[in-house]
């Protein structure tokens, strides 16, 4: 089935070059899965395209509303783009959604309460409990939601968790993992972590997947109404490379992303080994937690 997104969204032209069929919202079918995507990432068009690409490969019709934080001014996306394609929270406050995604954000090293949009984000978190079928919280979004709902703290790492890491499933038979191999790979790009022992102290939380190297990966609560993911399964193939050279050119202390380049040599190119897992993850989320909660 096609994916229904706002007419003229920049992601459309990018995805057409990848032979992905999309239609504008005015031609949608009578019943689509309505997804709200709160985009906290600085390069919003890149993040939009990452998620649209994943949804466009599913057989389910999906309608996406892009949401922005009103109490924070984005410095990396043109205001005209935000005005045309994004809604504020008050625009959707009285709506209901089948699913919602809250992305990561580059504010890991700031205490949650000191993030300039923390109060607005807390209001959105609470709103999801009554207005969203299943919410998917990603990277810093997952850390923030776990802290808000369950008091789980985050901890600063000695160095950035950066690369593609092997993960395992702790509890088989979960529909979210249908079709998964016993081991799979996920990109991570973060300066903080949540700890397994903190998750295990909270009876409402289930630690469903982790990595020996990158730690906690996927936590679930309320039968899948809340799903917390610490990695970036949505990343495009070249995103880690872009981040690596960005930080390197800024003179920041960054190491070559783990398990990404052939022989750990950027000149030999990268190997993307997480896309099949990512597609299954999002298809399973749509099928079993959004469409049929």
The three-state secondary structure class of 186 is strand
The three-state secondary structure class of 56 is helix
Catalytic residues: 139, 232, 234
Give how far Cα 75 sits from Cα of 9, 72, 86, 289, Å.
Answer: 19, 9, 15, 34
Phi, psi dihedrals of residue 90, rounded to the nearest 5°: -65, -20
Largest CA distance in the chain: 52
C-alpha to C-alpha distance for 167 and 82, rounded to whole angstroms: 36
Other C-beta atoms lying within 10 Å of the C-beta of residue 155: 11
Q: Which of 190, 194, 193, 214 is nearest to 202 (CA)?
A: 194
């Amino acid at each position: 089935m096609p994916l229904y997104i706002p007419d003229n969204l920049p992601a459309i032209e990018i995805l057409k070059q990848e032979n992905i069929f999309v239609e504008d919202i005015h031609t949608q079918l009578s019943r689509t899965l309505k997804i709200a995507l709160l985009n906290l990432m600085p390069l919003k068009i890149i993040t939009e395209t990452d998620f649209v690409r994943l949804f466009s490969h599913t057989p389910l019709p999906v309608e996406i509303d892009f949401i922005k934080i009103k109490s924070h001014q984005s410095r990396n996306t043109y205001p005209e783009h935000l005005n045309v394609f994004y809604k504020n929270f008050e625009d959707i406050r009285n709506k209901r959604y089948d699913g919602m995604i809250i992305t990561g954000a580059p504010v890991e090293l700031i205490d949650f309460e000191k993030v300039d949009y923390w109060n607005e984000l807390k209001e959105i978190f609470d709103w999801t409990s009554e207005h969203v079928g299943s919410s998917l919280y990603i990277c810093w979004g997952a850390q923030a939601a776990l802290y808000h709902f369950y008091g789980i703290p985050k901890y600063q790492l000695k160095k950035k968790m950066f690369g593609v890491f092997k993960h395992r499933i702790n509890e088989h038979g979960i529909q979210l993992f249908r079709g998964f191999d016993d081991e799979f790979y996920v990109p991570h790009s973060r300066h903080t972590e949540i700890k397994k022992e903190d998750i295990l102290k909270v009876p409402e939380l289930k630690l469903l997947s982790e990595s020996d190297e990158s730690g906690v990966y996927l936590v679930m609560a309320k039968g899948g109404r809340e799903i917390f993911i610490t990695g970036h399964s949505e990343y495009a193939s070249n995103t880690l490379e872009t981040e690596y050279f960005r930080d390197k050119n800024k003179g920041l202390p960054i190491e070559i992303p783990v398990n990404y380049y052939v022989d750990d040599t950027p000149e030999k190119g990268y190997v993307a080994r997480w896309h099949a897992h990512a597609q299954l993850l999002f298809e399973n989320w749509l099928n079993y937690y959004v469409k049929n909660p």
